[in-house]
Structure 1
């Protein structure tokens, strides 16, 4: 398996996709959380998902806590997919990763996604109040994560906690390392989502994603908590696909140049 195949996983092969959707999961999660979406998107959309070290098939690899390293690896893996138009979609930490990968591709290759979809995170210029809990004792750390919208009971079983907690802490440290990175606007459209009951975001903070692009921008809300994109009742995926189709009609080639 090549390095790129480790960092991005194809969830459901398509024989001749018209578009590739690359998903960046939230902190602590691997590619598997995105698998249900790969079964729900239209047949011409091929879904790929990021898999960082220390989770799923990469469980034996050391966790990576430097944002510049993670972004450069993910961007290099994404470059392999650019024989089709592509969309980047990220939730929470994944929203920041999706933005930074898009920025890396713009700077290094002068190519942009047809669309960037972000959810569960305020704009990159806003302070992140949750990175400070990365070094908290386990009890406090878990309580803070539960406050984001709760965890399933089975996630608190000792054996699962042993596997899950280190990756989650590493991802929060990734967020902290982002502060040293330079940012600038993208040339692609951006759609930014917020859950109405998400304590980690504010309407103002989500609308500030407008400054992350020189193209068109749309902010959207869903009736849910921090993890609303993974609740089929919110209609997130259906609306995201409609936005993707709008952007796809205006994109030419692998991306916008």
Structure 2
């Protein structure tokens, strides 16, 4: 049965009845599946929430780290493919937005799977260079950036034992971002929705508008109060917005015929 699908890459929050649609959430650099733990109850009981489990953290602490966006996207695409028996939407924040786009591209080009929607948050689009991330080999600069943005519980970094556990994954993620060089955006045949905080120090609304190039059907920009991690303070409003989109009738998605 499809309901028995399991993957170490994916944490599932099963719907109370057979899912009409699945929502895959992809965390930021240095983040983990725990970042989205409060999201599943916000959605209707026919939506199954999936959250990516990145290597090198929590129950995957000893798994090999990844430092390449292409390798990351290739592996996650393979793992998520069995979950595409029903329509799939993807939401990614920061590094997770770039990863979401690359997974969406692979699902469509290699497996003829069109998403119901690609939702990207707080991240430059593929065709623009991101000059905000520090040199990933400069540990002090990386830690300063993590503290500045505030997405990872910085208190953990002040404990030497905990820092030793989480720092390798943070550094690996920053290498993923640093190595993700600009490329032409591919206009994919499904809606793209971009989200951003109105006081994000690194990504403004004009930059986020560039994600329009990633869709050949429709694009919408949604701005919330807050900084790069507006998601924390605006969780209720953000999940309500996403849930409303997922409830829309006639939502596209699923496997497309081979041409």
2:55 touches 2:65 (CA, 8 Å); kept in 1?
yes
Q: Distance in 1 between matches of 2:142 and 2:29?
A: 13
Q: Distance in 1 between matches of 2:13 and 2:147?
A: 28
2:192 touches 2:215 (CA, 8 Å); kept in 1?
yes
Q: Report the count of equivalent residues.
A: 253
Partner of 1:61: 63
1:114 touches 1:256 (CA, 8 Å); kept in 2?
no
Query: How do 1:86-97 and structure 2 match up within 5 A?
Result: 86-97=88-99
Query: How do 1:1-257 and structure 2 match up within 5 A?
Result: 5-138=7-140, 140-149=141-150, 152-156=153-157, 157-179=159-181, 183-232=185-234, 235-246=237-248, 249-251=250-252, 254=254
Q: Distance in 1 between matches of 2:73 and 2:6?
A: 12
- Greater shift, 103-112 or 178-187, is seen at 178-187
Per-residue CA deviation, residues 10-56 of structure 1 (Å, 9 max, x unaligned), is 13454311110011111112212212111222111101111121111
Alpha-carbon offset, residue 133 of structure 1: 3.0
The SS at the match of 1:121 is coil
**Structure 2: 5+ residue stretches without partners:** none
Q: In angstroms, what is the RMSD of aligned CA positions?
A: 2.3
Change (3 A) 1:123 1:153: closer
**Structure 1: 5+ residue stretches without partners:** none
Misfit runs of 4+, over 6 Å: none
Give the TM-score normalised by structure 1. Answer: 0.90
- Greater shift, 140-149 or 200-209, is seen at 140-149
Structure with more helix by fraction: 1
The SS at the match of 1:135 is coil
